Amino acid sequence: MAFEAKICGLTTPAAVETAIGHGASHIGLVFFAKSPRNITAEAAGELSRLAAGKVIRTGLMVDASDEQIAAILAACPLDLLQLHGKETPERVAEIRQRFGLPVMKALQIGEAGDLAQARAYEKVADRLLFDAKPPASKTDALPGGNAVSFDWSLLAGQQFGIPWMLAGGLTADNLAEAVRASGARAADTSSGVEDRPGEKNLQKIKDFLRVAEGL
């Protein structure tokens, strides 16, 4: 199976075209007002149309209501919903059924015991995403995209009933090591291809995808 790479938090046509042109399997559009990568549904719709049929267009949402999700989808076609908040397994199942789209549930990992929560989502989600827990000292930390990693070896040898993706502080410099340690066959980066929060660096996107292509 070819290694999959998702570039998340894209906000410009140039970044989307760079991700597509250099082999990304997924792009991520963030619909979360507190994020520096937040984008309106209308602006995201324009980027989504650029990517149609070329990559899996993922919408990142945090504890969104049905009304919010419906409004996003009305303006921005998506292929995958990424739930990055405190959504329960029941809520994940509701969203998946109501909107008829695959769902990827993000889970925050800090220690081995945190992996146990994944089992509750295996039957209601289509995919899992393992991200680092935000720093405890950072009270205003985002649910993801904080440029921090966790101990990748926690995932080594783990078996899950659905595919999973690795996230959390991944860059072109540490991606190969992260894959070796975790056994991941898919990875997601956002802060790792930026000059500053919300500002993507096109060369960093190219570098990350070049490494991913060789895995």
- Residue of 177, 50, 43, 168 whose CA lies nearest to 110: 168
**Tens-binned pLDDT, residue by residue, of the chain (215 aa):** 699 999 999 999 999 999 999 999 999 999 999 999 999 999 999 999 999 999 999 999 999 999 999 999 999 999 999 999 999 999 999 999 999 999 999 999 999 999 999 999 999 999 999 999 876 555 455 565 556 789 999 999 999 999 999 999 999 999 999 999 999 999 999 999 999 999 999 999 999 999 999 99
Q: List, in order of start, the domains of the chain with CATH numbers.
A: 4-213 (3.20.20.70)
Distance of CA 150 to the CA centre of its chain: 16
**With helix as H, strand as E and coil as C, how does 84-119 read?**
CCCCCHHHHHHHHHHHCCCEEEEEEECCHHHHHHHH
Q: What pTM, to 2 d.p., does this model score?
A: 0.93
Helix (H, G, I), strand (E, B) or coil at 41: helix
